[in-house]
């Protein structure tokens, strides 16, 4: 199963987070295959998904890098 680890306002920001995770041994889902649903402006965020077993470590990693405000 996959779990959302971060939400970002642009695909560029999400891509950066995905690259950071990948370069540090995590296995995030590629952005183009991640669900990004926008319905009448209700949800305009890009979600970075990661395998369940990596969630806690990835969350801590992102917080240490200063991404506390975007961690799910």
pTM of the model: 0.84
In the chain, domain spans: 2-70
The confidence band for 53, taking pLDDT boundaries of 50, 70 and 90, is very high
Least-confidence region, from 10-19, 37-46, 58-67: 37-46
The 3-state DSSP class for residue 42 equals: coil
Q: What is the distance between the alpha carbons of residues 29 and 42, in angstroms, rounded to a whole number?
A: 23
Can you tell me the mean pLDDT for 46-60?
A: 96
Topology of domain 2-70 in CATH is Alpha-Beta Plaits (3.30.70)
Residue 49 predicted with pLDDT over 80: yes
Q: What is the distance between the alpha carbons of residues 45 and 64, in angstroms, rounded to a whole number?
A: 22
């Amino acid at each position: 199963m996959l779990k959302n680890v971060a939400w970002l306002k642009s695909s560029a920001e999400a891509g950066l987070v995905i690259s950071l995770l990948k370069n540090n041994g995590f296995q995030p889902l590629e952005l183009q295959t991640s669900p990004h649903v926008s319905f009448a402006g209700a949800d305009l965020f890009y979600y970075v998904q990661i395998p369940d077993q990596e969630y806690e470590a990835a969350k801590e990693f992102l917080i240490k890098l200063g991404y506390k405000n975007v961690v799910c």
